[in-house]
Structure 1
Amino acid sequence: MVHPSKTVAVIGGGMVGACIARYLQRDGHNVIILDPNEPGDGASFGNAGCFNPSSLVPIAGPDTFKQVPGYLMDPLGPLSIRWSYLLQVTPWLVRYGLAGVPEKIKHQSLALKSILSRSLEALMPLVDDCGAHDLVRRDGILIVYRSGQSVASDSRGWNLRREHGIHWEELDRDAVRDFDPNLTRDIQFGKFVPGNGHTVNPGALVKEIVRHVVQSGGQYRKVRATDFLFNGDKLQAVLTDHGPVTVDMAVVAAGAHSKALARAAGNSVPLESERGYHVMIKTPEVRPRVPTTDSDHKFVVTPMQEGVRVAGTVELAGLDAKPNWKRAEILLNRIGGLYPALGKTYRPDDFTVWMGHRPSLPDSLPVMGRSKRSADVIYAFGHQHVGMTAAPYTGVIIAALAAGRPSPVDLTPFQPDRF
């Protein structure tokens, strides 16, 4: 146990920030979470809710550059780029493409494995602390395919998973139907990954962890962090829109909004927002047995407390552009192709839509490590598509850094100056 002499500001009240705050608190630190919004109301609220240690496949692949014209021409495709944002996002896209070469993918997947493989192991103590067992399931996930060609197109990722010891069960058409009879009969193949899990309410899970942090003596302040005050290389305070917050140390875990804070602490980081959308069907006719990914159309259907969530798509349009709600509507239109009983005409009050910002670096790895300006500012952002999964073990890592202990994983791949 570390002597509780350090007061640490955790900037960001999402899943990553909440897990870091609780692990810091378990180490004996005084914790103040800073966020202008309620806990878990950002990207953590709207994701597919999955805990996937198997998600160690980097997003960029060898054919990335070839796909960019398609991203531009299809505004409703699984990944799209707004023409108005193309010039601004081009440097990020170049880095993204260059990261998708086989040798780099190998190293990136190893780095992802190091923070994902112990994710559920790191999550459960936090769930135990706050008594949120009703929000967590460990029933696995299912990925389904309509053809052998679709399976082949995913082979690079599954080969990587096999190399890293991920186990799954191969399901043929009959086995898929036995597993979940509500799926369309068009499904020919499936892969069931028993080592994965999900939360039935990601926003509520974050709130429960934060509630326990506050109940245990921490603070949650609804303020926006804007800058840092240093005395030499020592941090004195985090500056906010409601005045300075005096602290000994700060952790930047503000997701897609971390870029300016990193710059204030001396690092230029190519952080981009991958805007994601979801539709929540409030009273579904059927529910998936487990979170189920439609590999052909790139969306995930998750059974949740408030209904069935259909989540997916990536849109590159920055932090400020208005949502394109047609991207959410396309998810609603396509769900019937996976679960026929859900393919109906919905009234506006039958569902809700959402858009949020995944914080993404071009090499699919988050930034974790100390800032250039001061060792008192630590970064933990950019978790892209693995934020829910990686958050608990990120908390373990950041708590070690804050205490001056060696990191339990090699942080070289995650350094803020790697770009």
Structure 2
Amino acid sequence: MPGDAPLTVAVIGAGIVGLCAALEVQRAGHHVLLVEPGEPGGRQAASYGNATWINPGAIMPISLPGLWRKVPGFLLDRTGPFTLRWRDLPRHAGWLARFIAAGRDWERIGICARQRYPLCKHTVTDHRAYADEAGVGHLIRQEGLVYVYPDRTAFAAESRIWAMRRELGIRFSEIEEPELRRLQPELSPAYRFGARLDDAGQIADPGAYCAALARLLEARGAQRITARATGFVIDGGRLSAVVTDRGPLACDRAVIAAGIGSAGLAKLAGDRVPLISERGYHVVIPEPGVELGAGLMPSDGQMGVVSTPQGLRLAGQVELADPDADPDWRRADILLGYARKMFPGQAKRFETARIDRWMGNRPSTPDGLPCIGIASGSADIVHAFGHAHTGLTQAPATGRLVAALIDGREPPFDPTPYSARRFAR
């Protein structure tokens, strides 16, 4: 509570959400135990391989009206942006039904967009402040994000989405073909119209950024615990320790920010959350012959295309599969095919490049909202997981909300929509 003695807070997970939560909890004057079995910023983390965007306009859930008509095609087409392995269908059927229902009409989408916006609104400013404190301010870029379309008609087909952004005050600019050619001369002439989210940015190297934030936490007194959290010691609703594979860690509060590993911990804390892995892939093409300013999102591919220090990164795909299943590298090859389509002048260069392929697990709820809030089984445990495609964007606001909940302070915005209790109704 405000004004009380500092607490010992175990933050479970050192992905971007856990790191931002830890920074805000530490800023509030508490001692942080950062519990993570892997290296912060390592390849094992979803935070490592994302599309690098920090986007105030990331208000739309993945499930939109009409999606249900496309599901049979997704099951049959192994080359589309959304796929489900047949053998996993029985296990994921309940989640998929909720996912489709969440996007069944535009009224529900509008509600979801308004609930997502507070998590996205200040993302660039917040990340820039963190990066400056960590000595890696050069990693933050703010050159916008451009959605590219075959023509204005294709853009108009998404008019509801852009209207929702406009209603929330999210700035964007329409880009006609001559300006698009000027901004990105290497881009295929198949794309003749664009819409630029003016205030969006990117973190050029998310892995290096996460590692820098972890170092900042330690420099300010946080304790790194290289262990896997497996449970809690709770008596009468009060938390006394986090159980790990290296023994118990005494603490006053805990934050569950373990990404795809969060559902099991949340269950032990009293909440059943339908969390599955939307597995994503990326390819990085070194020395691609293309240098992007603003990131690109092709309307026909639904992926992020960005320049990074390592090369041109294309990140995307949704594969509903067991987190531990072997990667299907055909998903990465689909991304590489889009690189050739988008930048045909460099296609031969792409053929001979040493491509880096990566797969990671996005922790996803069916309704497009993360789980942030007090656990049902103990007021000493706070959920902070399930951010799916937008963990990088939503992490700072999540961290502020988590710190307020731990302190019992007035939250920066209404936490009700993100409560795990919504799945118990």
Task: Normalising by structure 2, report the TM-score.
Answer: 0.96
1:103 deviates by 2.2
- Report the 3-state secondary structure (helix = DSSP H, G, I; strand = E; otherwise coil) of the residue aligned with 1:258: helix
Alpha-carbon distance in 2 for matches of 1:290, 1:417? 39
Contact 1:123 / 1:393 at 8 angstroms: preserved in 2?
Answer: no
Alignment of 1:45 onto 2:63: no
Q: How does 1:8-407 map to 2 (within 5 A)?
A: 8-41=9-42, 42-100=45-103, 101-344=105-348, 346=350, 350-407=354-411
Counterpart residue type for residue 30 of structure 2 = H
CA distance in 2, matches of 1:15, 1:153: 34
> How far is the alpha carbon of 1:318 from its aligned partner?
2.1
Matches of 2:142 and 2:366 in 1, distance apart? 30
CA distance in 2 between counterparts of 1:328 and 1:194 reads 29
1:350 aligns to what SS in structure 2? coil
Contact kept in structure 1, 2:127 and 2:140, CA below 8 Å = no
Q: Which amino acid is the alignment partner of residue 299 of structure 1?
A: M
Letter in 2 for 1:211: R
Q: Aligned equivalents of 1:156 and 1:248: distance in 2? A: 46
**What residue ranges of structure 1 are gaps of 5+ in the alignment?**
none
CA contact (8 A) 1:122 1:396 kept: no
CA-to-aligned-CA distance 1:29-66 (integer Å, 9 cap, x gap) = 10011111110230000000000010101211111211
CA distance in 2 between counterparts of 1:318 and 1:216 reads 37
3-state SS, counterpart of residue 375 of structure 1:
coil
State the secondary structure of the residue aligned to 2:22: helix
Shift of 1:376: 0.4
- The whole-number CA distance in structure 1 between the counterparts of 2:322 and 2:314 is 22
Q: The residue matched to 1:162 in structure 2 has which SS? A: helix
User: Partners in 2 of 1:348 and 1:283 — Cα distance?
Assistant: 11
SS at match of 1:13: coil
1:76 & 1:36 partners in 2: Cα distance?
Answer: 34
**Structure 2, unpaired ranges of 5+:** none
Amino acid at match of 1:219: Q
Shift of 1:151: 1.5
CA deviation profile, 1:158-178 (whole Å, cap 9, x unmatched): 121111111111111111001
Change (3 A) 1:348 1:33: farther
SS in 2 for 1:44: coil
1:176-211 CA distance string (max 9 Å, x none): 001111211221100111100001100111110111
User: What is the distance in 2 between the residues matched to 1:204 and 1:342?
Assistant: 28
Please tell me the root mean square deviation across aligned C-alpha atoms, in Å.
1.4
Give the deviation of 1:3 after TM superposition.
5.5
CA positional deviation for 1:393: 1.1
Deviations 1:188-238 (A, max 9, x none): 100111100001100111110111001111012121101101121110110
d(CA) in 1 for partners of 2:371 and 2:352?
A: 40
User: Equivalent pairs: percent with the same residue?
Assistant: 41
Deviation per residue, 1:122-171 (Å, 9 max, x gap): 22331222111011111111110113442233222112111111111111
What displacement does 1:346 show?
4.4
Once structures 1 and 2 are overlaid, which stretch shifts more, 134-143 or 154-163? 154-163
Match of 1:415 in 2: 419
Query: Tell me, what secondary structure is at the counterpart of 1:122?
Result: helix
What's the secondary structure of 1:226's corresponding residue? strand
CA–CA distance in 1 between the matches of 2:270 and 2:240? 16
Secondary structure, aligned partner of 2:392: helix
Distance 1:329 1:217, change over 3 A: same
Aligned length: 419
Aligned mates of 1:279, 1:2 — CA distance in 2:
49
Contact 2:63 2:100 in 1 (8 A): yes
Tell me what 2:6 maps to. 5
Alpha-carbon distance between aligned partners in 2 of 1:251 and 1:23, rounded to the nearest angstrom: 12
Distance in structure 2 (CA, Å) of the matches to 1:153 and 1:359: 29
Opposite residue 351 of structure 1, the aligned amino acid is I
Which SS does the other structure have where 2:327 is aligned?
A: coil
* Equivalent residue letter for 1:328: A
Per-residue deviation, 1:289: 1.9
**How far apart are 1:284 and its partner, in Å?**
1.2
Query: Is contact 1:12-1:252 (8 Å) kept?
Result: yes
Cα separation, 1, equivalents of 2:323 and 2:364: 12
